[in-house]
Structures are given as C-alpha cells and as structure tokens.
Structure 1
C-alpha cells in the first residue's frame, strides 16, 4: 500500500454499536478525510461487516476476512466496546482454510468472542501460515479504543438488554461480566507493555465515553441511516450491500444512543484529536 494511502475500519460488536458506527461515518469521518486530504493523505473507510459476501458469510469465513483485512494495512485500527461481549465462534463457525492460515486460533475457539479475536490479532497478532511458512506479524501501529460507560443500563428494558448486554441469554452473568472485564484488561495490559518499549512499535490510545439514551429513537432507523451514509462514502448502491444485515436479531429495536461525550467534550472532537496525533506520528514529514 502506498505510503500516502491509509484505510481505517471500526471493529465492534453488532448490532449494539451501530449508533457509534453511524456517528463516526456521519460526524467524524468527513472531517478526518478532509484533514488527511489537506496533508496529501488519502483516507478510506471500510466496514468489514458489509464487505462480507453471502458466500463468505455462509462458509464461515468472516474471521478470515477480518484478519486478512487487518493484515493488508496494519497502520490504524479503531475499536468501540460496550457492555456486550459478543458471539463466541465454535469450530463450526470457522472454516478449515482460516485455521490453516492462522493455526493458533485453535487454542481460542469456543472460549473467545469474535470481537476479542480481532482485537487480539490487531495488537498481538496470531502467527500466519503462507506457503507452508509460518511467520510473525507486527502489531497495528496506531490503535484507538473507545469504551462506552455503562450508566445507561438502568434505563433499558429486559428485551433491550438482550441487545446491549449479555441479557437473559447468558446463563451466568457474573462469568460474562468477568470475561468482558478481562477482554478490556488485555488491551490495558498490552498498552502498558508497549509503553515500556523504547521503540515505537505500537501506540495504543484508550478513552471512555458516554452516550445519552433515548427511547424515542429506533435502532432499525439508525442501521438504515448508517447504510445510506456508508454506500455514499464507498460510492455504491444500497443494493450492493449483503442482505443478511437485514436479518439481524433484534429482540427490541426501540431506543438508541445520541450525543456522545468524552471527558466533557464532544466524542467527535476527541476522536479527531486522537487521530491527528497518530497521523503526526505516522507522517511527521507532512505535519
């Protein structure tokens, strides 16, 4: 990839983070793209969820697609985490081709969520096997993590909690909460380890933010608005998106987030500031 071209993708659980996805692509990305353009940098946005073909989805190759996309440009990585751990893939959810290419995955199948696996591959990559040669990959150079605070949970109904938390689907909520805490602690641990190194191998930035909850919003509307905005960004038609996104399991689509804040400021301004700081590290000659 050309030095002046970079791509960013958002990794998160689905569908509880679609409000953040929409907020990012509507409010944040246009300004980031313009800032990059003013410094002769071409910034592209990819939503990997919508780059999956029906065939890849049916053949359980989503992890392979995500891992390969991260490998194609290990420059920037953005992750939003809420109070949902996400689905945990089993051996039936990962095809043999993916296991052959990333053999270390075997140790995590059935115990680690999809989102955790992608986070792990970004900041502490699985070894990759190509042409019978196993080699190590570098961590993503600039990782930005945004953790949604849980102040809103008391406003949710039980059916809404099925979307935004483990909800009633989890047999042991304590175990779920512990695993979610451990997943976040892993990121803090890697940040501390990278900060100790003198070489600028990987820079991890972590923020906590709040979103206001509004029961008058509708998650289905937010998803539809995001899709409309996304196809405009990638210059395609809504018909080009895979149909399976319409079949997302929503026990109760009522309610949604808006007015995101971080440390007393608009989350948009914080993300842009964070991203510019990382751009200065990546392209010092352009700033």
Structure 2
C-alpha cells in the first residue's frame, strides 16, 4: 500500500452504536476523503465488524480477523463506545491459529470483551508470532475514541435498554458498570502512558459527546441505511454483505439517534478537527 494511502478502521459494539457508524460514513467520511484528496492522500474506510464474512463470524475467527485488519495499516483507528460492554469470548470462541499468532491473548481470554481485546491490540504494544519469531507491535499511530454520554438512557424503555446496555443476567448492575468503567480506563491508562513518552509517534485522542434521541425513529432503518452506505462505499450490493448482518431483529427497535453534539458543536465538526490534527502529524509535508 502506498504511504499516501491510509485506511480508517472503525469498531464499536453492534448494534447499539450503528447510528454513529451511519453518521460517520454518511456525513463525516465524505468530507474527510475530500480533504485528503486535496492533499494528495487516498483515504479508505473499513468497518471491522461489517468486513467479516459469515464463515469467519461462525468459526471462532472474529478476533484474528480484527487483529489482522488492524495490523495491515496501523495508522488510524476509530472507536465509539456507549454503555454496552459486549460479549466476553472464552477459549471456545478463539481458535488455535489465533492463539499461535497472538500468544499474548491467552492472558486475557475470559476477562476481556471482544471490544476490549481489539482496543488493546490497537493502542497497547502487542505480541505477534510471525516468520518464526515474536514481534512487538507498536500502538496504532492515531487512535480516536468517542464516548457517548449516558443521559439518554433515562428516556428508554426496559426493552430498549436491553439493546443499549445489554446487562447479562449473571451480573448485577454494579458489576456490569464496573466492567465498563474498567474497559474505558484501559484507554485512559494507555493515553497517559503515550502522553508521557517524549516524541511518541502514537497518539490517543478521547472525546465525550451526546446523542440526540428520537423516540419515534426506528433502529432497523439506521441499520439498513448504514448497510446500504457501506455496500455502496465498497462497490458492493446488500446481497454481497454476509447474511448475519441481515438477521438483526429486536422486540422493540423503536427509537434512534438522529444527531450528535460534542462540546457545543456538531460531532461532525469536532471529528473533522480531530482527524485534521492527526493528518497534519502524519503528513506534515502535505499540510505546510
């Protein structure tokens, strides 16, 4: 891949954050791509969840698929986090090839969610076994995290909250909230470490934003809209997307986010400012 060609890799828990993904691909990414073209940079977009095949999804290959995708271009990583932790994989969920290639994973299985594992692989030096030797992967150069404020939860019904919080029956609310706080602390701890390294080429940026909730909307419309936009961006059709993307169904999918605000600005404006700052660090010669 050309050094002037970079890929934004985006991941979140699904489907509770799909409105953010739709917002990004519909409103933010086109402007970012145009800015990049103006500076002779080719920008691509990959949704780690949506780029996985159904076979990979059903054969314990999710983790290695995510990790390998990040490793193919450790330049930009974007993550939206809400109030959902995501499922925690067991040894049965991760195949032997994944553990052979990423032996450090064995220390975290059963203790970290898929989301946390992927985040850690992006922002923390991580071991990888390749070509007969262990490599120590550096953090992604530019990681941008956006934390959604939780105040919207007060507006949700119990069935809606199951989509956006997904508290397992085996955990009480305090335990689940503690696990989510620890998952977010992982990001802040690594940010603090990187901020303390002189002349570090890796950066972590964290923002908190608010979602504008529309109670008469429908989450299924957002999922369909995002799927269409992602297929179009990848020069595909909806039929090309793996079947499991089309199996989302909920007892109550009413309500969705129609816009997002960050620090009294639109989230789009803030995200473009964030990306532009990081692009200037990555390509100083192109922004003089």
Tell me the distance in 2 between the aligned counterparts of 1:159 and 1:127: 41
- Bigger shift: residues 213-222 or 277-286: 213-222
1:126-141 equivalences under 5 Å are 126-141=126-141
Q: TM-score, normalised to structure 2's length? A: 0.97
Tell me the CA shift for residue 168 of structure 1. 6.0
* Corresponding residue for residue 261 of structure 2: 261
3-state secondary structure, aligned to 2:85? coil
Q: Secondary structure at the match of 1:199?
A: coil
Distance in 1 (alpha carbons) for counterparts of 2:105 and 2:272:
34
Partner in structure 2 of residue 23 of structure 1: 23
String of CA shifts for 1:93-116, please: whole Å, max 9, x gaps.
Answer: 111110110111111111100000
CA contact (8 A) 1:166 1:176 kept: no
- Distance in 1 separating the partners of 2:240 and 2:179: 36
Tell me which residue corresponds to 1:283.
Answer: 283
Q: Deviations over 1:24-74 (max 9, x none)?
A: 000000000000000000000111222211221121101100000000100
The 1:112–1:168 alpha-carbon spacing in structure 2 relative to 1, beyond 3 Å, is closer
Q: Is the 8 A contact 1:105 1:126 kept in 2?
A: no
Question: In structure 1, the residue corresponding to 2:137 is in which secondary structure?
Answer: coil
CA-CA distance at 1:249 after TM superposition: 5.3
The 5-angstrom pairing of residues 99-248 of structure 1 reads 99-167=99-167, 169-248=169-248
In structure 2, relative to structure 1, the CA distance for the partners of 1:58 and 1:199 (3 Å cut) is same
Deviation at 1:248, TM superposition (A): 2.9
- What is the alpha-carbon distance in structure 1 between the residues aligned to residue 221 and residue 149 of structure 2? 23
* 2-structure distance, mates of 1:192, 1:100: 30
Q: Which moved more, 1:52-61 or 1:274-283?
A: 52-61
User: Could you tell me which residue of structure 1 aligns to residue 274 of structure 2?
Assistant: 274
3-state SS of paired residue (2:66): helix
Distance 2:168 2:186 in 1: 26
Q: Is the 8 A contact 1:67 1:121 kept in 2?
A: yes
Alpha carbons 1:6, 1:43 under 8 Å: kept: yes
How many residues of Structure 1 are paired with residues of Structure 2 in the alignment? 287
**In the TM superposition, what is the alpha-carbon distance from 1:223 to its structure 2 partner?**
0.3
- For structure 1, which runs of at least 5 residues remain unmatched after alignment? none
Asked if 1 retains the 8 angstrom alpha-carbon contact of 2:11 and 2:49, the reply is: no
**1:85 CA displacement:** 0.5
SS at match of 2:204: strand
Distance 1:170 1:154 in 2: 23
Instruction: Say if 1:162 and 1:168, in contact at 8 Å, map to a contact too.
Output: no
Note the alpha carbon deviations across 1:234-273, whole angstroms, 9 max, x for none.
1111111001012235342111112200000000000000
Distance of 1:97 and 1:251 partners within structure 2:
37
